[in-house]
Copies of this chain bind each other. A is one copy, B any other.
C-alpha cells in the first residue's frame, strides 16, 4: 500500500498521484461515471476541496485518469507482444504483430471493462493521441503501437504503400468496435468461446481486407 491515509503531516506528500490512483480504482469498478471527486479525496484521507489544488475540476481529474487508462491499455498490448515473440519469418511476424495489437486491445477491454470505457470516455483528438501521458511503461501509446505493427506490414511487403497512410484508423476502429460491443453493447454476455471466435474472425477480416 502506498497510500498514507493515516498521515500525520499536514502536507500529504503526493496528493495528486493519490487522487489519480483512487480514480483508477473507481474507474475499474464502475467506469467513468464512478470516478467521483469527493470519494477520491475521502480515499486519500483529505478534505474534498484539497483536490482543487491539483485539478481545475472533476473533469480535469477524469481526463488524467483516462490518460492513465490508455497507458494501461498500452501495457496490455505490449504484454501481448511478449506472448507472441517473433519467429524469424518477417511476413508471419509482421502479421502476428498486428494480430497481437488486436488481441491485447480486446483482452484489455474484456479484463478491465471499466478502465477501457474510461479510457475512451473523454473527448480526444489525433494531435493528442501520442502524448506521453497516454503511454505505457515502455513509452508508447496504443495509437503508436498500431502504427508500429502497420509499419512492419508495410516493410514486409504485405501492405501496399498507397494503403499505408491512415491505415491506423481502419485497424483501430475495427477492434475498438468489437471491444465496445462486447463490454456493453449487444454482444455483452456472450460466452468466452464465442468472443474468442469472433475476435479471430475479426482479425482475419482485417488481415484480408486492409
Contacts and interface: CB of A to CB of B under 8 A. Distances in A.
Interface of A: 33, 120, 122-126, 128-129, 143, 166, 169-170, 172-181, 184-190, 194, 197-198, 201-202, 204-210
B129 A205 contact: no
A178 B169 contact: yes
Given A33-B33, A198-B166, A210-B205, A177 B172 contact: yes
A181 B205 contact: no
Given A174-B177, A177-B172, A186 B33 contact: no
Given A174-B173, A175-B177, A176-B180, A126 B204 contact: no
Contact of A173 (B124, B129, B202): B202
Contact of A170 (B126, B169, B201): B201
